[in-house]
Amino acid sequence: MLIRIPDVLTPAQVAEARAILDAADWIDGKVTAGHQSAKAKDNMQLPEGSPAAKELGAMVLEALGKNPLFLSAALPLHVFPPLFNRYTGGQSFGTHVDNAIRQVPGTGHRIRTDLSATLFFAEPEEYDGGELCIEDTYGVQRVKLPAGHMVLYPATSLHHVTPVTRGARVCSFFWLQSMIRSDEQRTLLFDLDLATQRIAGEFAGQKAAEDSTVQLTGVYHNLLRQWAEM
């Protein structure tokens, strides 16, 4: 399941973040790449644990915790601290797959990367190229979203970033371990949750709809109880 999540950050939050990012010191992005990814990766990155990365990471995590679409789609158990990258001057990231396991820096804690996320901080018209191309069941999905918007997709997907030939592509990227390991099961739960909310909203006050909402909610939570890993 690939889902675009709009307005994760407000315009004011994007502006604040861009001021911090534009003034930050960047390092070679290969520092967080695995052996295979390092051969394909050409970008810049905020140092992990830097004051800027910590401040902006906290902003992103707080926003995600308040975003019902993200919570419904991801069913997050653990979220890797957000990282931040920048592509300019023809930089790109060749086709790769994300590492299956990530260790949280400074801790002994590891997470399984079920989902990958990219949150955009630059508007599409600010740069040429820089499309995130994700291979899925229906072919290659090309993603280039407005600032403050995010894409969420299975970490098992092959993906790449096309060369940035003008301007700068600035994003946050991170991974998360879901309570539901299976993408197929997670998609079913997401669809069921959306359908239940739609019935509750569009037919509010109707007895049959209220009864159906209760029943569907029960099915949702019983499936979640059966499939969830904690």
Residue 29 has pLDDT above 90, yes or no: no
Residue 26 has pLDDT above 70, yes or no: yes
| Count of C-beta atoms within a 10 Å radius of residue 214 | 11
Segment 90-100 shows an average pLDDT of 95
Residue 196 shares a structural domain with residue 223: yes
Our count of domains for the chain comes to 2
Q: What is the CATH number of the domain that holds 52?
A: 2.60.120.620
Residue 198 shares a structural domain with residue 146: no
Residue 162 shares a structural domain with residue 190: no
Adjacent-strand bridge partners of 112: 101
Q: What percent of the chain has pLDDT over 90?
A: 85
Residue 148 shares a structural domain with residue 162: yes
- pLDDT for the residue numbered 174: 97
CA geometry: angle 95, 93, 160, nearest 5 deg: 40
Round to whole Å and give the CA distance between 219 and 216: 5
Sheet strands (E) in the chain: 3-5, 27-28, 41-42, 44-45, 76-79, 83-87, 92-96, 101-103, 110-112, 115-120, 128-129, 132-136, 139-143, 150-154, 159-161, 164-166, 169-178
Residue 107 shares a structural domain with residue 147: yes
DSSP state, 46? P
CA geometry: angle 161, 144, 52, nearest 5 deg: 75
Helix, strand, coil fractions of the chain, as percent rounded to 5: 40, 30, 35
Instruction: List pLDDT tens digits, range 144-184.
Output: 999 999 999 999 999 999 999 999 999 999 999 999 999 99
Residue 102 shares a structural domain with residue 203: no
- Do 86 and 198 form a contact (C-beta atoms < 8 A)? no
Residue 56 shares a structural domain with residue 87: yes
Residue 173, sorted as left (phi over 0), alpha (psi -120 to 50) or beta, turns out to be: beta
Q: What is the CATH number of the domain that holds 213?
A: 4.10.860
Adjacent-strand bridge partners of 175: 116
Tokens in use for 94?
Answer: 């060749």
Residue 128 shares a structural domain with residue 87: yes
Residue 92 shares a structural domain with residue 31: yes
Adjacent-strand bridge partners of 110: 103
Residue 70 shares a structural domain with residue 100: yes
Q: What percent of the chain has pLDDT over 70?
A: 97
End-to-end CA distance of the chain: 22
Range of the domain at 188: 183-227
